[in-house]
């Protein structure tokens, strides 16, 4: 079993969250997973039952983020849509940099790769994510950018497509 601890932020995320699936896969591969949640509730209990260590921290509280990240070598940064996305991403990146995290996985969106300072968007969330990516580039952290178009597993399962040959 791997002794590496991976911090997953936004672990109790709701609609569209990939954290629970990521945690399940990482645990299956033998990694130690620390799931960062904002509060203890049934979602946190589910993650604990899966085998994840639960830590409570708000990404807007850099001291709490640093405490939650202590001893982790990899961070999987995922966060719900928020007007504070850039601040939260910066707090997580600052803590990761100061603690010597060796890999920072940033879950973003595909359209962010098509943006620049002159080609932008009217979407405040996309703008926050693009700015966060600029900050991550400047940080010197070893970042892996994941920019999916969409995740269909929940949509297809809800639509009853699991028996479809292409679903």
Contacts 24+ apart (CB under 8 A), 148-155: 148/107, 148/109, 148/110, 149/110, 151/16, 151/18, 153/21, 154/16
> Could you report the per-residue pLDDT of 88-137, keeping only the tens digit for each?
999 999 999 999 999 999 887 656 666 667 777 777 888 888 889 999 99
Cross-sheet strand order for the sheet of 103-107: 53-56, 32-37, 5-8, 74-77, 103-107, 143-146
Is the separation of the CB atoms in 29 and 3 below 8 Å?
no
Residue 165 pLDDT grade (very low, low, confident, very high; cuts 50, 70, 90): very low
Instruction: Please tell me whether residue 55 adopts helix, strand or coil conformation.
Output: strand
% pLDDT > 90, the chain = 55
Is the separation of the CB atoms in 96 and 68 below 8 Å?
no
What pLDDT score was predicted for residue 114?
Answer: 66
What pLDDT score was predicted for residue 29?
Answer: 93
User: What gap in Å lies between CA 136 and CA 90, rounded to an integer?
Assistant: 8
User: What gap in Å lies between CA 95 and CA 62, rounded to an integer?
Assistant: 7
What pLDDT score was predicted for residue 25?
Answer: 92
What pLDDT score was predicted for residue 42?
Answer: 92
- What is the arithmetic mean of pLDDT over 72-91? 92
* In the predicted structure, residue 67 carries a pLDDT above the cut 70: yes
């Amino acid at each position: 079993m791997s002794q590496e601890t991976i911090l997953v932020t936004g672990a109790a995320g709701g609609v569209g969250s990939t954290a629970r699936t990521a945690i399940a896969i990482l645990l299956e591969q033998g990694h130690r997973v620390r799931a960062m949640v904002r509060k203890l509730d049934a979602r946190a209990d589910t993650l604990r039952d899966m085998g994840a260590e639960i830590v409570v921290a708000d990404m807007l509280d850099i001291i709490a983020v640093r405490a939650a990240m202590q001893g982790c070598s990899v961070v999987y940064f995922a966060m719900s849509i928020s007007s504070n996305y850039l601040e939260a991403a910066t707090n997580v990146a600052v803590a990761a940099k100061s603690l010597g995290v060796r890999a920072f996985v940033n879950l973003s969106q595909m359209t962010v790769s098509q943006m620049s300072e002159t080609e932008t968007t009217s979407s405040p969330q996309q703008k926050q994510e693009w700015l966060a990516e600029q900050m991550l580039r400047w940080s010197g952290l070893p970042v892996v950018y994941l920019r999916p178009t969409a995740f269909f597993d929940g949509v297809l399962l809800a639509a009853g497509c699991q028996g479809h040959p292409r679903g």
